[in-house]
A and B are shown apart, each in its own frame.
Chain A
Amino acid sequence: MRVPYEWTAIAAVVLTSTTGDVLLSRAMKQIGDLGDLRRRSGLITLVKRIVRNPNFLLGLSAMAVSFYSLLFGLSWGDVSLVVPAASSLTFVSNAAAAKFFLHERVDHRRWLAAVFVGAGVVLLAL
């Protein structure tokens, strides 16, 4: 009975986490290098710019949903399945989303990295 819940939670984590990662990455690129900005404008201005960015707020909401989906997953299923399955699938879905939505140049080296890390995480959990 718990297996469908487990995989539903994993799917929810992957989907919301990828959405959150893409939105947060876009927000941070719009804002610029946080280290440089803090030196130039100060911490208060930096925080204001971050919290006023719509992509940041949407990304944060998606991450919050992802966090609670993970809690459900951990509560229903084994940590040895939920965490590696969600993490490894997120590596691959992030690479695809970054290519299509963020227009990052995902060359064969980055695809290999995503697949290798995803497969490695699965092996660690076996």
Chain B
Amino acid sequence: MTFRKYLVLAGVALFAAAGDSMLARGMKQVGSIAPHHLSQILLTVLNPTVAAGILLLLCFFACYMNALSWADLTYVMPATSVSYIMLTLIARFLLHESVSVTRWAGVLLISAGVGFVTQGPALTHRTHPQEREQMTLASGVEQ
């Protein structure tokens, strides 16, 4: 694992947490959408907070794609869940919110999960070179 790869994983965690928070706040501003007015959901992107959330989630998506290009899905998902820990620490020490014992237990469980997965290799299954070659030929793009 190189510094660049750790940076990509940190990007996944940071942008996911920020994007989800903005999206949740934006949807509360928009309010409840009735099941028979499904088309209204498309207009929610006009809300500035929802739009900012989508922008942050696009950054998350770019980092996530990058991480999946060199690591297993079962490595990337738990490794980037460190964002939940960061959010709890920010809530407690920067925003001075009270964090219950149950939440600290949740942080402990997530930390243990992250610890388990990051001790092992990032990649356990390599795409067969022939499969990659076929994909390259099918796309018609020269390297």
**Contacts A68-B41, A79-B24, A94-B74; A32 near B84 (Cβ below 8 A):** no
Complex Cα distance, B127 from A35, in Å, reads: 17
Task: Pick the residue among B69, B102, B112, B143 that contacts A126 (CB under 8 A).
Answer: B102
Task: Pick the residue among B41, B66, B69, B120 that contacts A71 (CB under 8 A).
Answer: B41
Q: How many chain B residues touch the partner (CB < 8 A)?
A: 60
By beta carbon, the residue of chain B nearest A18 is: B73
Complex Cα distance, B60 from A63, in Å, reads: 13
Type the 1/0 row for B11-49, where 1 means its CB is closer than 8 Å to any CB of A: 000000000100110011011110100000100100000
Task: Pick the residue among A29, A33, A75 that contacts B41 (CB under 8 A).
Answer: A75
By beta carbon, the residue of chain A nearest B32 is: A75
Interface contact B69-A32, CB-CB below 8 Å: yes
A interface list, Cβ under 8 A from B: 5, 21-22, 24-25, 28-35, 37, 40-41, 45, 48-50, 52-53, 63, 67-68, 70-72, 74-76, 79, 83, 90-91, 94-95, 97-99, 102-107, 109-110, 112-117, 119-124, 126
